[in-house]
Amino acid sequence: MPSGQSPPSQDDAHLRLENLWHRYPGSAAEAWTLQGIDLALRPGELVGLLGPSGCGKTTLLRLIAGFERPARGSVAIAGRQVAGPQRWLPPERRGVGMVFQDYALFPHLDAWRNVCFGLRRGHDSGRAAWLLELLGLQGLERRYPHELSGGQRQRLALARALAPEPSVVLLDEPFSNLDVEVRLRLRSELSGVLAHCGASGVIVTHDPEEALAICDRVAVLQDGVLHQCARPQELVQRPATAFVGRFLLQANLLPARRDGQRLHTPLGSFLADGPPPALPQGTGAATARAEPLQVLLDSEAIGLQPDPAGEARVLGREFLGRDWLYRVSCAGLTLRLRLPLEQVHERGEACRLALTPGAPALLYPGAMPLLTLAPD
């Protein structure tokens, strides 16, 4: 079970994925695009699928929608199994709404008819009017997609997806083609719109900031494996794996060697509170020996000082408004350091790095918190 809240019961889950595996036809036997995914959505919940390119986010969305078939496992929507060993329903019979990155609107239909196209025959068209008003499109009913702005087209795509009253709406990077201001406004409204419509949502994104900002829970994937699904605050405070911490927080991972209460890293040795980290249940001795120790450090946990004899080199910096984000090479590692604006270092400058005493850190495997860093 991924870290996070307990999943909803079978009766109240809008969406339930159980032991879902997938690989594309013709792939090698071990080339799984998804491996043993378990996930459930509560009514009204928005869950983000987050991970690097090629991790399986869009494939998982396509499995839910019915555009792909799972090799193993099952998919249930609103308590009804739609894919499983003895069951398969095509996309049009699953009652799922889809919102695509490129809008996928009908160019020959105006806004009103685009929304009404999604209504079941005989359904009250008053729902279309209500959705257009809810999404701020009233007065634009007779405009065609090419006469609308990008933000308006995405709102129209969402209205069309919600028109048939689906219990689940799937969104595939819906804001990536929009400018910053429109993207921020739309994504802040998404949860409220879904709640008004009584629908749950799954949104694919590669942007950690976006996922943490708008989602009730975030599922982090790598190479088809679900590392963790939890509320944003829990992901930030206690990432379950080193990958989650590094990808989500853009933090630094240092290889470590433990000697009692002392940890040795390329940036020096320091003392760690607590016993060695507990290994996951079922981990054997061979696996334990093969799993390297790593320390996850925030970008603010490492200090930087000019030193002509230092082994660290500044690779570059980014201005973040209130501080700098530096990329620094040291001992074969590329590290990210967040420093105040008054600390200005030039590309190629020789420096020395130091761990910040008392800075929070986590030791992996096991995600054991290091309550204090006490460098020698």
What CATH number did the domain enclosing 222 receive?
3.40.50.300
Residue 86 and residue 219 in one domain: yes
What pLDDT does 269 receive? 76
What pLDDT does 221 receive? 96
Residues of the chain with pLDDT under 50: 1-6, 10, 279-290, 371
| Alpha-carbon span 61 to 230, nearest angstrom | 18
Q: Is residue 149 part of a domain?
A: no
Residue 185 and residue 267 in one domain: no
Residue 330 and residue 268 in one domain: yes
Residue 224 and residue 273 in one domain: no
What pLDDT does 274 receive? 57
Residue 170 and residue 311 in one domain: no
Contacts with 162 (C-beta within 8 Å, 6 or more apart), sequence order: 97, 118, 131, 169, 193, 197, 199
What pLDDT does 16 receive? 96
Beta-sheet pairing, 268-271 with 374-375 = antiparallel
Q: Is residue 161 part of a domain?
A: no
Contact (CB, 8 A) for 85 and 74: yes
Q: Residue 215: which domain range? A: 15-95+166-237
Which has the closest alpha carbon to 46: 160, 189, 151?
A: 189
Residue 326 and residue 215 in one domain: no
Residue 334 and residue 311 in one domain: yes
| Alpha-carbon span 161 to 174, nearest angstrom | 12
What pLDDT does 196 receive? 87
Rg (CA), the chain: 24
Contact (CB, 8 A) for 263 and 277: no
Q: What is the CATH number of the domain that holds 345?
A: 2.40.50.140
Residues in the chain: 376
Alpha helices in 138-179 (DSSP H): 150-162
Q: How many domains does the chain have?
A: 2
As given in the structure block, the two tokens for residue 128 are 């279309």
Q: Is residue 330 part of a domain?
A: yes
Residue 255 and residue 344 in one domain: yes
| Alpha-carbon span 203 to 146, nearest angstrom | 25
Residue 355 and residue 264 in one domain: yes
Instruction: Give the H/E segment covering residue 189.
Output: helix 180-197
What pLDDT does 375 receive? 54
What pLDDT does 36 receive? 96
CA angle (73 as vertex; 67, 79 as ends), nearest 5:
80
